[in-house]
Amino acid sequence: MLHYDSIAGLVREAEQKGRRISELVLKDQAEVLETTELALYEKMETDFLVMTESVQTGLDKNQRSMSGLTGGEGYRMNRYAEKGGGLCGELLGRAIARALAAAGCNASMGRIVAAPTAGSCGILPGCLVSLREDRGFAERDIVMSMFTAGAFGMVIAGRASIAGAQGGCQAECGSAAAMAAAALVELMGGTPRQCADACAIAISNQMGLVCDPVAGLVEIPCIQRNVSGLVIAFSSADLALAGIGSQIPADECLDAMRQVGDAMSPSLRETARGGLAATPTGRRLQEQIFGTQPSDR
């Protein structure tokens, strides 16, 4: 049985057995859940299909959130990316559009996969759907990489946190970026150790990110932070694949993330009483929707 208490442990087990992390996790989880590897794979395959559908839903020109604060970002970014790719190029531009789309689907009460949370639901599909649709990666490889992402997420949840209310947005979008970075590395043929390096780099680059949703809704700045997380996932994966590792081991990065989260003021942990939520515009939007200021709720 695998132990999901450290990234180093997962890497060590994979290296000793000469297997990908995803292969070990699929076998292990099938045994733990007393099911077959095929049944577990098919469940993850369904999750990927839901991710793909959430992207399509969010790319609709008329997509709007329940509050009316956001909507159509995925559509507009996708049109922009198709006109030459903008500054980021077409692959990354379309990936950004997909991240916005999945996050927008969540805001409009659509069906999504929390990966690991609803607030960060655009990052993993933004990465994986792009590699499937724009780079032609085999669906099986995409689905298998999700087991690696899930394993890293389990370690993060146990060692640090994946909840904005506990650790700030670093625990949501930061964790999602780390999971996606590890999955991307495996998809590109990287080693388990490079997966760990990508995870560490992604965590390092979102360390200290606060959770300050305007009006307490998972829209502003959450939807756009999914984009930042996606870009960090891609860049972290490329750094690791280029042989540029993290000087700080992944597990130490997670321990530091937990310490930073514990040190955050409660106003910066999903209470909508600090950060952008406490700006004059943030307060005005709160009152526009609910008729109250953050301090009144």
Cα–Cα distance between 17 and 122 in angstroms, integer?
33
Chain segment 262-286, per-residue pLDDT in tens: 999 999 999 999 999 999 999 999 9
Please answer whether residues 248 and 200 qualify as being in contact, where contact means their C-beta atoms are separated by less than 8 angstroms: yes
Domain boundaries, the chain: 7-266
Tokens 């469940």, located at residue: 43
The residues, any chain, with a CB within 8 Å of residue 284's CB and separated by 6 or more, are: none
Closest CA to 160 of 200, 133, 120, 192: 200
Domain topology for 7-266: 2-methylcitrate dehydratase PrpD (1.10.4100)
Cross-strand partners of 279: none
Chain segment 208-225, per-residue pLDDT in tens: 999 999 999 999 999 999
Chain segment 50-83, per-residue pLDDT in tens: 999 999 999 999 999 999 999 999 999 999 999 9
Closest CA to 95 of 116, 123, 67: 123
Instruction: Supply the mean pLDDT for the chain.
Output: 96
Q: How distant is the alpha carbon of residue 257 from its chain centre?
A: 16
Which of 100-104, 218-222, 248-252, 292-296 shows the lowest mean pLDDT across its residues?
Answer: 292-296
Half-sphere exposure of residue 163, counting CA atoms within 13 Å on the CB side?
Answer: 7
pTM flag (> 0.85): yes
For residue 117, the 8-state DSSP code is: -
Confidence at residue 296, expressed as pLDDT on a 0 to 100 scale: 47
Closest CA to 99 of 205, 207, 225: 225
CB atoms within 10 A of CB 252: 15
Confidence at residue 85, expressed as pLDDT on a 0 to 100 scale: 86
Cα–Cα distance between 58 and 116 in angstroms, integer?
19
Structural tokens at position 44:
């993850």
Confidence at residue 279, expressed as pLDDT on a 0 to 100 scale: 98
